[in-house]
Structure 1
């Protein structure tokens, strides 16, 4: 049995999610102690418990410690089963983080699957649904994985109430992901999504971010949606020949529209000033599917603590070595054999 200290590295839910995914795919049982040991509220929260129970159901596994607040979990995987699954996180717990756990597993099943997830679709500190469809899924398809998704209902923090559907069709033809250059720039786009809020908020955010990132008026869009509670998310897509970089900033109570737009512009501007092909958040997300396929190479602004922790967890299960080497204005990331 592989033993993982859940307080290692960033010490959050990433350790749990990657451990569960890798355990289910490789068939190696795992014990995770000190679950989310570096967080103010350690132990399993609702979205982590949902991910654990989802992994258990998909591979007919045996679990101990499956309770809210639990700080130690044991997971013994069985046989992965393709099929239709539905999981509800409740409130605004992140659907994308539950998906992060079960998607790598079902990508290695023996047939197509469909997952319906209910909860938060646009929540701070987790990938938004837009990130999945614009940046993450296209990269997975470049590896050879076949995955697509639909957003049925928006679920903003803190009300939640969202729903997404994901279609997964495994394939045996997996390739190394090699992203050495972005390629020529195709477009820059801004979208501000608001729910139960004034359009004036969106106009202010688009104005500030559009000017800072040199995005023309006709590439700025306001999208109004109705959800369980109010919500505001500002997104920037920088499309290049080989990759699309996606940036998200959420509006929260007490933070001005101008500050929201400034934060997004700063992150996107830093990326544009570098030669990186992949954003730090996408780097973190891609390490596990790359390691489960044929590895690869990409460049990124820098390995955040999530990525470094993910690399360490992957090394406990797979014969893979993940390295980050500093270049002139970004880092080279290599996922290769140990």
Structure 2
């Protein structure tokens, strides 16, 4: 709903989406009744930290928060970029803050180089390993060059102690190009990393043996590396990545519970390394079954670049849309007036001797999303 030239929303849901698209579009946004009826009303510490991060990226932005923290008015400025450092609260992972930067970084005035400290791996947010595997290739497809983009995990930090350190760098672009991404290809190899912190090193071997045992039933090119880190908190996990012959990359991850919680590493019901390895493998197989040219966490990033592309037709094949992506499509319509046409993807019929046999479908039902971009231009880039 737009009131007086300001888009107005209710509640805390999709707060990051609204602030990101407000920053890109230049349209102010007002959010009211943020957990107004909760026992702890208002913005959470990680949401306040994200707002401060946006303020550091912007020049000329204006942020007004009510005394109770239940109302927010955000007027964006011009994205400047540059060298920044940001300390992320331990209530959320670095992925909560790093994921939105992939949408904003290409449209800054100067190339961005930001150092984030906090938790690199937790169960709530996309981990740094997943972001490196899934989002970096999508971003490189649009702004790829010799100088980035890149995500470097300098030090791993497990939940709840943190202590991780990640450096994200990205060049800037004046504008994007329209594209059509219709063929996801066939999976040709699986890679991944089994990481541990303050547990016996044999845990990593037990995880990757369990995961490889499931993958080797389908293909032989399977390889995992081991990362035995010395983070503040104990924990372990496995990130698995599948790559197709057309450059499509999908990933999935599973990790141990946070110490102190029910079923945590320090508890009696802690997940065994074998269970973690099998869970990560099952999640990756599910992502492969879902199909599409990108995996679930990369859907919003791809749709953003499609909407901001020149005034030409962009088209991509995706698997079933996640609830987060559905909300993102609605917000793209609100901020940029971009509407996507969604059709069912009809796969090529596999030749059969008997034409009466039903058509065979590989994986879940896929969708073709088509839109005409708004011709977005990086204003700050033009002022250099």
| TM interval, short-chain normalised | 0.7 to 0.9
CA shift, 1:40, in A, is 9.6
CA shift, 1:53, in A, is 0.9
Q: Does 1:261 align with 2:277?
A: yes
Q: Which among 269, 289, 292 is matched to residue 276 of structure 1?
A: 292
**For structure 1, which segment, 76-85 or 90-99, has the greater mean C-alpha deviation from structure 2 after superposition?**
90-99
TM (norm. structure 2) is: 0.77
- Secondary structure at the aligned position of 1:157 is classed as coil
Determine the structure 1 residue equivalent to 2:65.
Answer: 65
Cα separation, partners in 2 of 1:158 and 1:30, compared to 1, 3 Å: same
Aligned counterparts of 1:27 and 1:41: Cα–Cα separation in 2 = 31
CA shift, 1:237, in A, is 1.2
Q: Is the 8 A contact 2:163 2:231 kept in 1?
A: yes
Q: Is the 8 A contact 2:189 2:221 kept in 1?
A: no
What RMSD, in angstroms, separates the aligned Cα atoms of the two structures? 2.8
Q: Which among 250, 257, 270 is matched to residue 255 of structure 2?
A: 250
Aligned counterparts of 1:208 and 1:152: Cα–Cα separation in 2 = 28
- Secondary structure at the aligned position of 1:336 is classed as strand
CA shift, 1:288, in A, is 2.4
Cα separation, partners in 2 of 1:121 and 1:333, compared to 1, 3 Å: farther
Cα separation, partners in 2 of 1:275 and 1:54, compared to 1, 3 Å: closer
Determine the structure 2 residue equivalent to 1:137.
Answer: 136
CA shift, 1:301, in A, is 3.1
Q: Does 1:220 align with 2:255?
A: no
The structure having more radius of gyration, on CA atoms, is 2
Q: Does 1:239 align with 2:243?
A: yes
**For structure 1, which segment, 33-42 or 193-202, has the greater mean C-alpha deviation from structure 2 after superposition?**
33-42
Q: Is the 8 A contact 1:210 1:216 kept in 2?
A: no
CA shift, 1:229, in A, is 1.2
Q: Is the 8 A contact 1:55 1:101 kept in 2?
A: no
Aligned counterparts of 2:104 and 2:370: Cα–Cα separation in 1 = 19
- Secondary structure at the aligned position of 1:112 is classed as strand
State how many pairs are aligned. Answer: 331
Q: Is the 8 A contact 1:154 1:161 kept in 2?
A: yes
Cα separation, partners in 2 of 1:302 and 1:109, compared to 1, 3 Å: same
Determine the structure 1 residue equivalent to 2:377.
Answer: none
Q: Is the 8 A contact 2:143 2:149 kept in 1?
A: no
CA shift, 1:57, in A, is 2.2
**For structure 1, which segment, 209-218 or 263-272, has the greater mean C-alpha deviation from structure 2 after superposition?**
209-218
Q: Is the 8 A contact 2:176 2:305 kept in 1?
A: no
- Listed as ranges, the gaps of 5+ residues in structure 2 are 1-5, 258-263, 265-269, 346-360, 374-384
TM (norm. structure 1) is: 0.87
- Listed as ranges, the gaps of 5+ residues in structure 1 are none
Q: Is the 8 A contact 2:160 2:233 kept in 1?
A: yes
Q: Which among 152, 155, 161 is matched to residue 153 of structure 1?
A: 155
